[in-house]
Amino acid sequence: MNLSLTSKCGLTPRTATSLPTELTDCHTNGKQQLKWMPPCKSILACDPDWTYSNITNACYKMIYNLNWTDAENACVSEGAHLASIHNPLEDHFLDEFTKTGISFSSGYVWVWVGLNDLAGVGSWTWTDGTPFDYFNWAPSEPNGLDSARCVEILPDQWTQDDGYFQRWANTYCTLQMRAGVCQKPARLN
Ligand SMILES: [Ca+2]
């Protein structure tokens, strides 16, 4: 446990699997106790062109017109990965962040996220190394498991009542998608 930053609002260094947490150093009966507190957001910041989310305490940025591999590489080149999703709140945030707001548009209106099973069919993995602990597959997804190895979200309604709206699907990694969304931890300001 790193206490070196407690003088700067108590934040511990972040990893891909933990949210920033404020430490309060309490001394009780001569013994030090550490109390976990909500994150101190005032000193968290994102680089220019990145958007902060107080749901994940991470930074997000859209990228456009790339296949999945190129999208992930584009994120990595900026110290990020394609986004990971671990609960409905994060899922909803990404739908809102990435949507066009146009219903029933044509073409590849999906958005790449970091989920893939390139290491083994059906072994779903996030590129940022976080656990696969939540999913929101559309009905009948994932399908075509042998060849559809990368995952997209659909923040816009592209057909009527097909069950795909704001849910996930697996598809071919080589498809050039409308967008992808990168995610990286917020930095200490
Ligand atoms: Ca599919």
pLDDT per residue as tens digits for the range 95-110: 999 999 888 776 678 9
What is the 137 CA–ligand 1 centroid distance (Å)? 9
What is the 173 CA–ligand 1 centroid distance (Å)? 11
pLDDT per residue as tens digits for the range 22-61: 444 434 445 555 555 555 546 889 999 999 999 999 999 9
H runs (alpha helix) in 47-152: 68-76, 88-98
Identify the structural domains of the chain with CATH numbers, from first to last: 6-37 (no CATH), 46-188 (3.10.100.10)
| SS3 of residue 59 by DSSP | strand
* Confidence (pTM): 0.78
Q: Which residues surround ligand 1, an ion (CB under 5 A)?
A: 141, 143, 148, 169-170
DSSP letters for 115-138: EE-TTSTT--EETT--------BP
Q: Is the pLDDT of residue 3 over 50?
A: no
Q: What is the dihedral of CA 29, 34, 40, 43, to 10 degrees?
A: 100
pLDDT per residue as tens digits for the range 126-179: 999 999 999 999 999 999 999 999 999 999 988 776 899 999 999 999 999 999
What is the 151 CA–ligand 1 centroid distance (Å)? 8
What is the 42 CA–ligand 1 centroid distance (Å)? 41
